[in-house]
Amino acid sequence: MSSDMIQGMTQGRPREVIRTESVTKTYNVGKPNEAFAVRSVSVSILENDFAVLKGPSGSGKTTLLSLIGCMARPTSGSITVEGKDVSHLPERFLTNIRRRIFGFIFQQFNLIQGMTVLQNVLIPLLPTDSNPADGLKKAEAILEDLDMLKRRDFPVNSLSGGEQQRVAIARALINDPAIILADEPTAHLDTALAADFMKIMHHLRDQGRTVVIASHDPVVFEDSRISQVVSMRDGRSLGIQRNV
């Protein structure tokens, strides 16, 4: 088959941005308390996907999300991000990948109490060479898009749970990441706020980003616009449902 034919067949296909191949994560290897958090899981996530890692507590979904986001290393198997095998890269390279490619939204928000909304959003820019004036303009634009600009000078501990999450989202976006990773983002939100969060995530996807969420919340994994759901239990993948 000619290269022109191959190119024609692949035109229009979304690009794969994340792949795990038989990834396993084991803690306390070789010891009596050895524990498998993830067992031989293979997942493919395409550009502009909205993927959900679904499962109960202890299913391995959060560990898999950490492996995908280069926050943990696999015991075996391989992880490819943007076409590069990151499984065994030195930490200094992983730090750069995390900062350049991923935006993280944590379950507990991980905001710095006592600091303002704006200060929290700007934190990821501190180790970079970005221009402070450009960073400020960018942070304000993101906060305005999330309807939080009016709270820019408020201490984060004075905000509601839903507002704190919007600050966490703004912080995740400040480095303009291609991929958003969120761990149980609706765990502390009521149904209305969870639905509001999903609207924000769909808006980010509409902007061209890839979104991956680990969640056991039906508001998340039953959303009809999710592109794929990876069901997990006891560290294993029970199956992958691709919707679009």
Instruction: Say what the pLDDT of residue 244 is.
Output: 64
| Token representation of residue 71 | 């926050």
| Mean pLDDT of the 2-10 span | 42
67-85, pLDDT tens digit by residue? 999 999 999 999 999 999 9
CA 125 → CA 99, 120, 133, distances in Å? 9, 10, 12
Domain definitions of the chain by residue range: 49-73+88-242
Q: What is the pTM of this model?
A: 0.90
Q: Which residue has the higher pLDDT, 139 or 11?
A: 139
Going along the chain, which residue ranges are E strands? 16-27, 35-46, 50-54, 76-81, 84-85, 102-105, 179-183, 210-215, 228-233, 236-242
- Residue 14, amino acid: P
Instruction: Say what the pLDDT of residue 4 is.
Output: 43
12-30, pLDDT tens digit by residue? 678 999 999 999 999 998 8
pLDDT at position 63 over 90: yes
Tokens 């067949």, residue? 9
Q: Alpha-carbon distance 172 to 182, whole Å?
A: 10
Instruction: Say what the pLDDT of residue 127 is.
Output: 73
| Mean pLDDT of the 81-101 span | 92
Q: Does domain 49-73+88-242 have CATH number 3.40.50.1260?
A: no
| Mean pLDDT of the 105-118 span | 94
Percentage of the chain surpassing pLDDT 70? 93
178-233, pLDDT tens digit by residue? 999 999 999 989 999 999 999 999 999 999 999 999 999 999 999 999 999 999 99
Instruction: Say what the pLDDT of residue 10 is.
Output: 47
Instruction: Say what the pLDDT of residue 67 is.
Output: 97
